[in-house]
Amino acid sequence: MPLTQSSDELSAWLRLSLEPNIGSATACMLLSALGLPEQIYAQRATALARHVPDALARQLAAPMPADMAEQVARALEWVQAPGRHILTLADPTYPQSLLTIADPPILLYVAGDPAFLQGPSLAVVGARNATPGGQENARAFARHLAANGWRVVSGLALGIDAAAHEGALDAGPDGAGTVAVMGTGIDRVYPASHRDLAHRIAAHGALVSELPLGTGARPQHFPKRNRIVAGLARGVLVVEAAKQSGSLITARLAGESGREVFAIPGSIHSPLSRGCHALIRQGAKLVETAADITDELGGGPTPAQAPRTEPSPARAAHPVLDALGYDPLHLDAIQARCGLDTAVLQAQLLDLELQGRIARLDDGRYQRLH
């Protein structure tokens, strides 16, 4: 990729992003006070000490440590490959929406097309241990949003995140695509099982990380990732979430940044509905269809050329589905409702499972999907 900044300029940005004991807020303060990173590193420690503690001033005034220089050289080599970019706050292609959050990343590593970081986007997030129904909802909502011009942003995690990315990709080449914000270095895919998904996203959207190359998955990185997910989007949709959930952090950050928050309600008996219900009580918009989101936001993009997803034709009533309802149930509870012989009921449940109309959960309960 041709660099939009000189190697020396980008090296200074990379060094600033790698400095220990400097978060994005401190880095932005120094940039505002002293100018671009090259100008920061041209200052003497005494001048820097007017803005930061003495120890940090001496750190910034010292020559770049050898291990940091190796990391900078590695990043400069990485960005030369096709489809790889490093966007700094000084880059005109840096996403404008991130400039409105409290602590914008000073740089972003991007694999794919950085144009996907601009324009109307919706974040779709939720539980890692999502139910089959929750994953299907995330996939269907994301497919509809992407087919109608809304880029889908999520975090590449298991469960709802992966389903949202897949749904957006299912909208095809005329869809708006998807962006995955990573909680690792951009050269490390977590979980490893999403490596193929990450390659598809890079080919038809963008992978994004603010973390240095080689950074592995650590718990403290995911809240930082969540602020970027929220910052890139016009709104956040929470599909399923427990009462204590990282998705609720994303929703809170979105609300604090003036974004809309949407939540899909669920069964009162499901732990994965409690986070969504809590958000709704706090003022999040209750949604039942993707159109509820686009209608609420208004003034969105012109729909893509891809055909709008139509609801499936209604199927004939099925006594087992009627008995099952929309809450997960064990076999004996379904049998008590429908009165069928055990062997007959098991055969019908298997048939419905093969049709993709129900799923058997890990705890043995059955969950209706349609």
Q: Kindly write down the DSSP assignment for every residue of 23-65, as one continuous string.
A: -HHHHHHHHHHH-SHHHHHTS-HHHHTTTS-HHHHHHHHSPPP
Per the structure block, which two tokens stand in for 145? 């949003």
CB 121 within 8 A of CB 150: yes
Specify the pLDDT at position 2: 43
Taking Cα atoms as reference points, which of 234, 269, 264 lies closest to residue 247?
Answer: 264
Q: Distance between CA 77 and CA 283 in Å, rounded?
A: 47
CB 200 within 8 A of CB 179: no
Coil, strand or helix: which one is 252?
A: helix
Cα four-point dihedral sign 144, 194, 246, 209 = negative
Residues 18-45: b if buried by 16+ CB within 10 A, e if exposed: bbeebebebbbebbeebebbeebbebeb
CB 41 within 8 A of CB 59: no
**What parts of the chain have a pLDDT lower than 70?**
1-5, 299-317, 370
Per the structure block, which two tokens stand in for 266? 């669920």
Q: Distance between CA 37 and CA 303 in Å, rounded?
A: 41
Coil, strand or helix: which one is 256?
A: helix
Specify the pLDDT at position 316: 56
Give the global pTM. Answer: 0.83
Specify the pLDDT at position 310: 39
